[in-house]
Structure 1
Amino acid sequence: MQGDVQARRARWAVAAMFMANGFVMGAWAPQIPLLLPRHGIGESTLGLLILVLGFGAVSAMLFSGRLIARLGGRAVLTIFSLATIPVLPLVVFAPNLWLLTPILVAFGAVVGCMDVAMNAQAVEVERRLHRAIMSSSHGFWSLGGFIGGSAGGFLIAHLGAGQQSLVAAAFAAVLVFGAMPFLLPTTAVAAAAEAPVRHHLLPRDLGLWLLGFMAFFSMVPEGAVLDWAAIYLQKELGSDVFRSGLAFAFFAGAMAVMRFAGDHARNRFGAVRTLRVSGLVGAAGLMGGALAPADWFAIVSFALAGLGVANMVPIMFSAAGNRPGVPSAVGISTVTMVGYSGILVAPASIGYAAEHFGYRPTYATLSLLLVTVALLAAKAADADGLRREEGPVPLPV
């Protein structure tokens, strides 16, 4: 019974960590345009700086699994969640590009390592509770991102960029310090015992890499809606600025709502069926956006796509964390690294495709990526592996 109490407390500690990570990224978003006048740079240089941050995150994800195996999941999550607190003020107060560039690499690295560690902690909690919590954990990330982005813009307008970054750091610190005492104590010894005797920087499990590319296929459409939906609605459907902005707003809102419902669906129907239906719903939404006769139809379609995409990546993270013969942290770091590469690839590649072939064919093609994930849904069966061994799973209270 005491273990159950510890796991339930850890479940909310994990939620707080996800929310803190999402909040910092949300608070960073309204700061991005301010880098242009502050450092006297153009959009192309800004794009390279954003790419540098993403490169830092994806590169760190490659090593984070081994770091967790060496130090233990709780220690790594504690270290990098603490390191995440000051990164936004460091970016905002950087006096020049020579300092800003390595700070952005460090920003991406600490946020990326925290991302892997908190997902690994979520898998541990799932094992202890014998039920899914991954989707709702990502829902707390979305909620944190929404609060950080919306409150961040308000604070910048009324207090200034520097003060906003300090307030964001203080709020993240409250969440992190409040969660740290309740994390599950995953020791380095336990993590090492789970690992194979011989270590490779890149795991040689082809099924794990397939999960990674399924996550990649799921994240590219997310980046396509984030970066290009507003421009698509303005250029091809005649939307004004307000209505075009609703495309991603409804997509993100639908994702957040569905993520909080996703654990119930997984616990009731299983990961494979949930992933299959999610992929088909997401594909239908993107195809509807591609064929939309008017902007309102596209907005509704992108909201439908958000409902479908919401739980796909969390399911694959759970599957990676329960992959037989692969340490949880290594599996999650590999799938996270490959999956998040989709967010980096999406902006440039989709912009090129849209420029040469048009937005409608581009979104229609992206819907096929989600159909592919739906067809491969059985490859994520390890997300339910623990429950198959230990019997039926009670529905969450």
Structure 2
Amino acid sequence: MGSGRWAVFVTFALNGAVVGSWAPRMPTVAEQIGANPGQLGLALLGASLGMIAAASMTGRWCARFGARALVAVSALATVVVLPLMATVGSPLQLGLALILLGASVGMLDVAMNVAAVTVVRRTERPLMPVFHAGFSFGALGGSVGAAFAAGHEISLLSHFLVVSVLTIAVTAAVVRYVPREEQAADPAEHGSTDRRMLRRPVLWLLGMIALCSAIVEGASGDWSALFAVRERGMDEAAAAVTFSVFCVAMGLVRLFGEQAERRWGADRILVGGALVAGVGLLATAIIPSSAVAYVGFALAGGGLAFAFPVALNLAGAVGRRGDGTGGEREIGFVTTIAYSGFLIGPPMIGGVAQLTNLEVAIGFAGIIAALIAPVALAAAAARRRAAEAAEREPALNHR
């Protein structure tokens, strides 16, 4: 299973690198098409809409065709769409291209998480945070490459073609090793309805954990630098480091996710991490210090490191069937809820800032991060009740 584990880790890093490659080039794209901030903001919604639409369907596609096939298809779609973005000539064309790119990235996201849950089950190791560390460092690498391309005035098309070629090469090297979940022994059981899934409170609670994490992560990405400039008096170069600190802390903490989950358990690291993230952002908002801003965003990134991967792993466990298969649709369901956080988070924080100021807005993000703690406790209670009900049901049927 070692090759499968590394294949999934590399797939996570590849997805992160793709995301990290195009987002930092948006100023160049905006200049190319002559878009004002409002038009660019509307176009960027396309990426979130594409991700949400793809995530809502990819779970059932993985259940039918397997995660390996979806990893291959989504990676190839990315290879086609990414260079297309370099040729857009209007905000409308950019929005349409971003819908396609968001859909391919979202499909890859769900498929790689389904494959990751398969590795977790087969190895019986809590590796989800480690896989998500691959995404974090892949995004960091992609953003460094984008910065290099921008700094050396490399054209968008040349840059994105290089990323596409690398994507093809990496996918070809690892896709054969991506594990595929065995099909359910009973086809009728495999076709459990989405309607029944919607009635499971635990999935909604796990979705809320991922949603809160996504809101704070999106808000940190879009507002941390502006907060540092306007409220803490930093120059733009120093302010840009605030989100880098957030990302690096998140990636480093995720690398130790297996050891942390083995020692303290999924529920404790969710609750503890949420409180750490909340305290970090609240301190950032309250204490007028540049140094505290860096420390606060680092605590937020480290505290939220486990939220998304652990929530997805638990969603896969909720959907696991008696024969050891299943969970694809549940992972897609929770991912869809999470992606809506990237859609609503930045404008929500921006609205709070408009009504008050950026300090209050960052503090509000801290409260959202801390809300993960009670939601995680509620999810744990819901999982226990579901497990107890499942244990009673066979006994009743046996009578």
TM-score calculated relative to the size of structure 1? 0.90
Matched, 1:134 2:138: no
Q: Counterpart of 2:126 in 1: which secondary structure?
A: coil
1:209-245 residue CA offsets vs partner (Å, 9 max, x unmatched): 1111121112211112111111112112211112211
User: Which TM-score applies when normalising by structure 2?
Assistant: 0.89
Distance in 2 between the 1:41 and 1:154 partners?
Answer: 23
- Structure 2 residue 97 is matched with structure 1 residue 103: yes
What residue in structure 2 maps to residue 3 of structure 1?
none
Aligned partner (choices 177, 183, 190) of residue 195 of structure 1? 190
1:261 lines up with 2:256 in the alignment: yes
- Partner Cα separation in structure 1 for residue 129 and residue 31 of structure 2: 39
Equivalent residue number for residue 395 of structure 1 = none
Structure 1 residue 289 and structure 2 residue 284: aligned?
yes
Q: Distance in 2 between matches of 1:12 and 1:379?
A: 34
The Cα RMSD (Å) is: 2.3
Q: What is the deviation of 1:194?
A: 5.5
Q: Report the AA paired with residue 156 of structure 2.
A: A
Separation in structure 2 between the aligned mates of residue 108 and residue 288 of structure 1, nearest angstrom: 34
Q: Residue deviations 1:321-358, cap 9 Å, x none?
A: 11146841111111111112111111111111011122
Native 8 Å contact 1:61 1:337 kept in 2: yes
Q: After the TM superposition, which residues 101-250 of structure 1 pair with which residues of structure 2 at under 5 Å, given as runs?
A: 101-158=95-152, 159-188=154-183, 195-200=190-195, 203-250=198-245
2:364 alignment partner AA: T
- 8 Å CA contact 1:286–1:366 kept in 2: the answer is yes
Percent of paired sites with the same residue: 33
Q: Is the 8 A contact 2:218 2:345 kept in 1?
A: yes
Residue 63 of structure 1, CA deviation? 1.1
Matched, 1:313 2:303: no
- Spell out, residue by residue over 1:149-193, the C-alpha distance to the aligned partner (whole angstroms, 9 max, x if none): 111221243332211111111122222111111111325556956
Mapped contact 1:72–1:189 kept (Cα < 8 A): no
Measure how far apart 1:99 and its partner are. Answer: 4.1
Aligned to 1:84: 78
Contact map agreement 1:224 1:347 (CA 8 A) in 2: yes
CA distance in 1, matches of 2:25, 2:196: 35
In structure 2, which of residues 6, 13, 16 is the aligned counterpart of residue 22 of structure 1? 16
Task: Summarize the Cα distance change of 1:194–1:201 in structure 2 as closer, same or farther, 3 Å threshold.
Answer: closer
Q: Which moved more, 1:251-260 or 1:152-161?
A: 152-161
Answering whether residue 39 of structure 2 is matched by residue 40 of structure 1, we say: no
Distance 1:254 1:199 in 2: 36
* Equivalent residue letter for 2:71: L
The 1:192/1:317 distance shift into structure 2, 3 A limit, reads: farther
SS at match of 2:83: helix
Partner AA of 1:303 in structure 2:
A
Q: Does the CA contact (< 8 Å) of 1:77 and 1:114 recur in 2? A: yes
Task: Please list every run of 5 or more consecutive structure 1 residues that lacks an aligned counterpart in the other structure.
Answer: 1-6, 389-397
Letter in 2 for 1:36: A
Q: Supply the AA of the counterpart residue of 2:243.
A: F
Tell me the distance in 1 between the aligned counterparts of 2:133 and 2:105. 17
Letter in 1 for 2:350: G
- Conserved? CA contact 1:319–1:380, under 8 Å: no
Return 266-275 or 355-364, whichever deviates more: 355-364
For structure 2, the 5+ residue unaligned runs are: 388-399
2-side partners of 1:321 and 1:375: how far apart? Answer: 21
Query: 2:50 and 2:291 mapped to 1: Cα distance?
Result: 38
| Residues 1:8 and 1:36: Cα distance change in structure 2 (over 3 Å) | same
User: How many angstroms apart in 1 are the aligned matches of 2:39 and 2:368?
Assistant: 31
1:35–1:46 Cα contact (<8 Å) kept: no
Task: Letter of the 1:160 partner, please give it.
Answer: S
What code does the residue aligned with 2:104 have? V
- Structure 2: distance between partners of 1:287 and 1:118: 34
3-state secondary structure, aligned to 2:198: coil
How far apart, CA to CA, are the structure 2 residues paired with 1:83 and 1:294?
45
Q: In the comparison of the two structures, how many residue pairs are matched?
A: 380
Q: 1:369/1:199 Cα in 2 relative to 1: closer, same or farther (>3 Å)?
A: closer
Contact 2:43 2:91 in 1 (8 A): no
CA contact (8 A) 2:49 2:102 kept: yes
| Structure 1 residues 276 and 39: alpha-carbon distance in aligned structure 2, compared to 1, 3 A threshold | same
Q: Is the 8 A contact 1:286 1:302 kept in 2?
A: yes
Is 1:67–2:100 an aligned residue pair? no
- For residues 190 and 96 of structure 1, the distance between their equivalents in structure 2, rounded to whole angstroms, comes to 51
Q: Secondary structure at the match of 1:225?
A: helix
